[in-house]
Amino acid sequence: MFEKLEMAPADPILGLTEAFNKDTNPNKINLGVGVYKDEAGTTPIMNCVHKAEKILVETEKTKNYLPITGAPAYGKCVQELVFGKNAKVYAATAHTPGGTGALRVAGEFLKKFKPSAKIWVSDPTWPNHNGVFGAAGFAVGKYAYYNAQTRSLNLDGMLTAIKVMTPGDIILLHACCHNPSGIDPAPEQWKKIAAAIRENELFPLVDFAYQGLGRGLEEDAEGVRLLAGTLDEMIICSSFSKNFGLYNERVGAITIKSETQEATDKAFSHLKTTIRQIYSNPPSHGGAVVATVMNNPELHKEWEDEVAEIRRRIKQMRELFVATLKAKGVKQDFSFLTHQYGMFSFSGLNDEQVKTLKEKYGIYIVGGGRINVAGMTKANMEPLCTAIAEVLKT
* Residue at 176: amino acid letter: C
Instruction: Give the contacts of 128 (CB within 8 A, at least 6 positions apart).
Output: 11, 13, 100
In which element (H, E) is residue 135 found? helix 127-135
Contact between 126 and ligand LMR (CB under 6 A)? yes
Query: Considering Cα of 34, then 39, then 45, then 46, what sign does the dihedral take?
Result: negative
Residues 18, 33: Cα–Cα separation, whole Å: 10
Nearer to ligand LMR, 49 or 343 (CB): 343
DSSP secondary-structure letter at 26? T
* Binding track over 9-38 against ligand LMR, x by CB under 6 A: ----x-------------------xx----
Residue 279: alpha-carbon gap to chain centroid: 22
Nearer to ligand LMR, 126 or 303 (CB): 126
Of 242, 257, 303, 358, the active-site residue reads 242
Residues 164, 358: Cα–Cα separation, whole Å: 40
**Closest separation in Å from C-beta 161 to ligand LMR:** 23
Residues 370, 2: Cα–Cα separation, whole Å: 34
Contact between 132 and ligand LMR (CB under 6 A)? no
DSSP secondary-structure letter at 162? H
According to DSSP H, which parts of 279-337 are helical?
Answer: 285-294, 297-327
* Binding track over 180-219 against ligand LMR, x by CB under 6 A: ----------------------------------------
Instruction: Give the contacts of 130 (CB within 8 A, at least 6 positions apart).
Output: 121, 140
Active site residue 242: yes
Helices (H) and strands (E) in the chain, counts: 13, 13
Nearer to ligand LMR, 92 or 132 (CB): 132
Nearer to ligand LMR, 181 or 324 (CB): 181
Residues 198, 217: Cα–Cα separation, whole Å: 26
**Closest separation in Å from C-beta 253 to ligand LMR:** 16
Long-range contacts for 51-59 (Cβ within 8 Å, ≥24 apart)? 51/299, 51/302, 52/288, 52/289, 52/292, 52/293, 52/296, 52/299, 53/289, 55/292, 55/296, 56/285, 56/288, 56/289, 56/292
**Closest separation in Å from C-beta 122 to ligand LMR:** 14
* Binding track over 365-394 against ligand LMR, x by CB under 6 A: ------------------------------
* Binding track over 57-86 against ligand LMR, x by CB under 6 A: ------------------------------
DSSP secondary-structure letter at 2? G
**Closest separation in Å from C-beta 332 to ligand LMR:** 24
Residues 136, 205: Cα–Cα separation, whole Å: 14
**Closest separation in Å from C-beta 128 to ligand LMR:** 6
Nearer to ligand LMR, 34 or 282 (CB): 34
Residues 387, 9: Cα–Cα separation, whole Å: 28
Nearer to ligand LMR, 101 or 185 (CB): 101
Contact between 179 and ligand LMR (CB under 6 A)? yes
Of 37, 111, 126, 358, the active-site residue reads 126
Active site residue 207: yes
DSSP secondary-structure letter at 130? H
Of 37, 207, 220, 257, the active-site residue reads 207
Q: Tell me, by CB under 6 A, how many residues bind ligand LMR.
A: 6
Nearer to ligand LMR, 34 or 245 (CB): 34
Active site residue 331: no
Contact between 290 and ligand LMR (CB under 6 A)? no
DSSP secondary-structure letter at 366? B
**Closest separation in Å from C-beta 314 to ligand LMR:** 14
Nearer to ligand LMR, 91 or 205 (CB): 205
Q: At what angle do helices 285-294 and 297-327 cross, to 10 degrees?
A: 100
Binding to ligand LMR (CB under 6 A): which residues in 230-249? none
Binding to ligand LMR (CB under 6 A): which residues in 82-121? none
Q: Catalytic residue positions?
A: 126, 207, 242
Binding residues for ligand LMR, per CB under 6 A? 13, 33-34, 126, 128, 179
